[in-house]
Structure formats: C-alpha cells, structure tokens
A and B are shown apart, each in its own frame.
Chain A
Amino acid sequence: MLRAIVLLLFTLCVLTSEAREAIVRSQAEMFSAPKGSAEKITVLSKGDSVETGERRGLWVEVVKPMSGWVKLRQLTMASAGKTSSSLSGLQSGREGAGNAVSASGVRGLDAEMIKLSDPDPIAVEEFKTFMVVAVDAMRFAKSRSLNNREIAYLPDPETQQKKGNKGGAQKVAPDQAIKKKKGLSDDDW
C-alpha cells in the first residue's frame, strides 16, 4: 500500500514537475514560497541560468542552483520539451533569409508577401465553413471542464497613473475596476 502511494506520488511529481532551463530576464528576488510575503532567500541577477520546477499561478519554482520561488515574468524559459527543437531552430537561423522555403514547402508570411497578395474571396468562403455556433462551443467547454468566471477588464495603468498625478491621489487599485456585472464580490467565482 505504502509502495503504491510512493509510486503514485513519484508519477505525479514526474508529470507535473518537468525541469526546464531558464534565464533570468531582470534582477529577481527569490522567495521561500510562492508569495511576495514569504521569506526572501536571495536575489538572482540578470542573465543567470537556473533550472525550474513546478509552476504555481504567476510563480515558478527554481530548483537549481538553489531552491526557491520567483515570479514567472522574471524568467525566460530557454527550452521546453518538444518546443526546444523549434526554438533552437529559430535561434540558429535555420529559417534565415536564404532558407525561406521550409520542409513542407510553405514560405514564411512576411510584409512583402502580404503586399503582393492576390485576394482570394473563394478561400474566405471555405474558411467560413468552419464557423461554429455557441451551443457547440458550450458543449466543448463542458467537455473540457472549463468553468466560466466573472472577471473585470483591467484598466490601462498609464491612464490610471495620469489620473492619479492630476488629482494627487494614489494609483487606483485594480480591484476597484468596473466589474463586468455589478454586485459581484471578489470570491464569487
């Protein structure tokens, strides 16, 4: 029984925590837990190489050279499983100007191609045949166990700041933004 549990835990770990290399984008504070209020362990410098583990919301676990948590936006994921091949391909210039034709024979879409485009209204009609109705989309969402949530649009932080400066007031808390539907509390969804 215990062995089964250990095995299960191990499988779960393997499934959820694939180690990935990442580069520190900007000086990043590392915390002991995925919260800004947790103990600060160290400060990573820009360009540092780290190995990441689990992701939790906007936080990423760092496992090497030491363990802790940093904000997702402070890292650039260097490689990611299957993606690494296409990433390194791009980085090595495989699709450089001299190699515009890919293996599948399709060229990249650049500004020149768009300017030279011969509009194809028949292709648009074919494209439109893929249109689905809301009922189908709802069934799809249900099959994916997607739960709709009420979330307010984010105000533009730049205009918020301007407003703040004018009135001498502090930046308006995003929570005060207009809710999509009125009478909604933060933990309603």
Chain B
Amino acid sequence: MFKNKSKTMLCDFKVNKFVAWLFVLFVFSAPAISSTEEEIRAGDQVAALYLGSVRLVANKKVNEYVNLLGRHLADQTERADLPWVFGVLDTDSVNAFCAPGGKVFVTRGLYELLETEDELAAVLAHELAHVVRQHHWKIIKKQQAAAQMIRRMQSNMNNANDLFNQMNGVFTDLMTKGLDKGAEFEADRDGAVIAARAGYDSSALFNVLTKLEGLKSDAKSTELLFQTHPTPSQRIDMLSIAFSSELEAAALPVRTDNILMKISAP
C-alpha cells in the first residue's frame, strides 16, 4: 500500500516534469521572432520598395566593392553582427538610403559626385549610423498600426510577409518625409567617427557636404535629398561645432592613391 503510493507520486512527478518540458519546448518553438529579426524583416520590405523603384547598377564589381568597404565600416560599430548589405542604385538622383537591420544604398548620382574612397566611406558611414541608432526602426515601431502588425506577426509567423505588405504606407511615408534634423546631425557625427575608426579621413564628410552645397536644391535629381535632410550648410555647421580634437587629429590629407572604383556603363 505504502509502496504503491510512493510509486504513484513518483509517476506524477515524472508526468509533471514531462508537461513542463513540453511547455518549455512549446514556448521556444512558438513562431515568435526576436526584435532584431523583426527589424531585419521590416528592412527587407523597405529594400523591396526601393528596389521596386530602381535597380542596382549592373556593374557587379562596384556592388562587391561597396560591400567590402561597407562591411569594414560596420565592423567598427556596436552592431557588427547585423546582416549588412550595400548596393549602388542605378539612378541619377543624388542620395543615399538605409533600411532597418543593415541595408544601405547609395545612388549612382551621388556616387559619381564622389572622388575618393574616403568620401564614399563618409556617405556609407552616415547611413550605417542611422541603422546603428535605429533611427527609422524606432519611428516604425512607434506607429500604432505597425505595433499591431508586429503583435499579429508574433502570433503567426506564416503571414508575416502579408502583414509587412500592409505596412508599406508606413514605410513609404518615412522614406519620403525623412527623419527629424536631430537624427541627421547625429548620423553625421557618428558617421565621421565610424569612418575615422575604419582608417578613413574623418573630414571627408565635409568634402561631400560642400559638394552637395553646390547643387541646385530644386533640381529633380536633388529634390528628395533636400526634402528629407537639413541643408548641407546647416549640416557643415553642426558637424564642425561637434568635432572633437581627437577626431580632428584623424583628418587625413587627400590621398591620391585612394581612388574610387568607377561605375562603367552597363
């Protein structure tokens, strides 16, 4: 009798343990995704919107080149573990973009204005900084509609892509209206630091901004850039106020051996 009871207790304990394990297994295999995974997927959708408008330049070597350079810059940041990928968009427009989770684009129009690898590093590093600081992702998450979508997505991974498609309005709004000025100034500051950490000229961003300053702000090719960013003059002023002596010491003379790969005609 006594023996029997103890056996039952033991049995119960085993069953409970089994149930507990089942529960643990269920929790960890549930179709919920991590916050970084959400960010990367949202970035995929933003990239799909850019690539739905313009293609990458056909020159594979140039795209490979910006990936090597971009990855080297990304490795100087706290988010080196993201799946960083870079590309040159085949458009005359002068601009650079990023998508949450580590997708970065520079347009052919901007690329062709650049003369040195230092200047390309400055442009890419600015975009990298937006991703590192999650400037776009934080805004997307704040949107009520987006938050609801993410909750629904967490409960059912299978329809994640459909849900992201429904969020296109949120994404395009952000892509066409841009961030607040503060975020742009911050990306300029961080970008100069990231480029300098990677061994590039810390002052190259000044070169790029002075070039942008010389462009007509109402031309078709610069319209979006000037709509979504503070003026280059404002950016130059803000960056020079913030420049530290440490960063100033990381300014390099223009290097003649530091030639940018050309985008030849496809």
Q: Identify the A interface with B (CB < 8 A).
A: 15-16, 25, 54-58, 71-73, 75-78, 80-83, 86-87, 90-91, 93, 95-97, 99-100, 102, 104, 106-111, 113-121, 123-124, 126-128, 130-134, 136-138, 140-141, 144-158, 174-175, 177, 180, 186, 189
Q: Which residues of B contact A114 (CB under 8 A)?
A: 49-50, 53, 172, 175-176
Interface residues on B, range: 35 or more
Q: Are B68 and A151 in contact (CB under 8 A)?
A: no
Decide: A151 and B84 in contact? CB cutoff 8 A: no
Stretch in B16-24, B110-118, B136-144, B145-153 touching the partner: B110-118
Cα A16 to Cα B196 with chains together (Å): 21
Q: In whole angstroms, how far apart are the Cα atoms of A90 and B238 in the complex?
A: 26
Say yes or no: A127 contacts B253, CB within 8 Å: no
| Contact call A157/B238, Cβ cutoff below 8 A | yes
Asked whether any CB of chain A lies closer than 8 Å to the CB of B197, the reply is yes
Complex Cα–Cα for A71 and B210 (A): 12
In the complex, what residues of A have CB within 8 A of residue B63's CB? Answer: 130
A137, B71: Cβ atoms closer than 8 Å: yes
Interface pair B55/A123, CB less than 8 Å apart: yes
Given contacts A81-B115, A106-B90, are A152 and B246 in contact (CB under 8 A)?
Answer: yes
Which B residues from 226 to 266 make CB contacts under 8 A with A?
A: 227, 233, 236-254, 256, 258, 265-266
Contact check, A137 vs B220: say whether CB atoms are below 8 A apart.
Answer: no
- Partner pick for B176 among A86, A115, A137, CB 8 A cutoff: A115
Given A77-B207, A108-B93, A174-B246, 9 extra CB contacts under 8 A: A16-B256, A56-B253, A90-B222, A106-B92, A120-B52, A127-B85, A132-B64, A144-B117, A153-B193
